[in-house]
């Protein structure tokens, strides 16, 4: 009999206090669509910065952004047009990686980017935040390939580690 009483006492103790829990909170009724539309504006999505080569100098991005420079001999180059279409289409991954796209489709302008990188025809150049050229490609790349190349860079791996994303 004592064993049964002991088991019942242990079960009651395990269940915890009955009336000491706080009362359930009452959730407000969802607002009508009109109230939602007028009360809280949607936060602005950051956009990928696309700059023309004469408007930016390589030193402007040192330690702040990763320039992805797209060169061509003419803005009508099919590879240049395809690359720009891809970059403008799905750019969330590039924004997350602090990418700034620099376009240079006028060889006669002789920009600082052309003097520094010496491209021939179409070229895609990925530069890290430290100002060093990390990748050169003679053909267009999609955002996924660019993102993967950036994620392999030592500075990007440090950023990911500092953000607590790696174990």
Whether 67 maps to a domain, the answer reads: yes
Residue-wise pLDDT tens digits, 28-64: 666 666 665 565 555 666 789 999 999 999 999 999 9
Whether 107 maps to a domain, the answer reads: yes
pTM for the predicted model, two decimal places: 0.70
Whether 5 maps to a domain, the answer reads: no
Range of the domain at 109: 49-162
Whether 37 maps to a domain, the answer reads: no
Contact 150/126 with Cβ under 8 angstroms? yes
pLDDT of residue 2: 79
pLDDT of residue 114: 95
Contact 67/130 with Cβ under 8 angstroms? no
Low-confidence spans in the chain with pLDDT less than 50: 167
Number of domains, the chain: 1
Sheet holding 99-104, edge to edge: 49-52, 99-104, 66-71, 123-127, 133-137
CATH number at residue 81: 3.40.30.10
Whether 20 maps to a domain, the answer reads: no
């Amino acid at each position: 009999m004592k064993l049964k009483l002991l088991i019942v006492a242990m079960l009651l103790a395990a269940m915890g206090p009955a009336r000491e829990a706080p009362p359930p909170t009452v959730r407000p009724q969802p607002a009508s669509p009109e109230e939602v539309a007028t009360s809280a504006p949607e936060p602005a999505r950051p956009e990928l910065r696309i700059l023309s080569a004469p408007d930016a100098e390589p030193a402007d991005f040192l330690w702040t952004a990763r320039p992805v420079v797209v060169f061509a001999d003419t803005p009508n180059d099919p590879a240049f047009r395809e690359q720009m279409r891809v970059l403008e289409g799905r750019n969330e991954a590039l924004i997350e990686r602090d990418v700034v796209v620099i376009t240079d489709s006028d060889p006669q302008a002789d920009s600082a980017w052309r003097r520094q990188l010496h491209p021939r025809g179409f070229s895609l150049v990925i530069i890290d935040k430290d100002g060093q050229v990390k990748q050169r490609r003679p053909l267009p790349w999609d955002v996924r390939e660019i993102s993967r190349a950036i994620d392999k860079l030592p500075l990007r791996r440090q950023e990911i580690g500092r953000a607590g994303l790696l174990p």
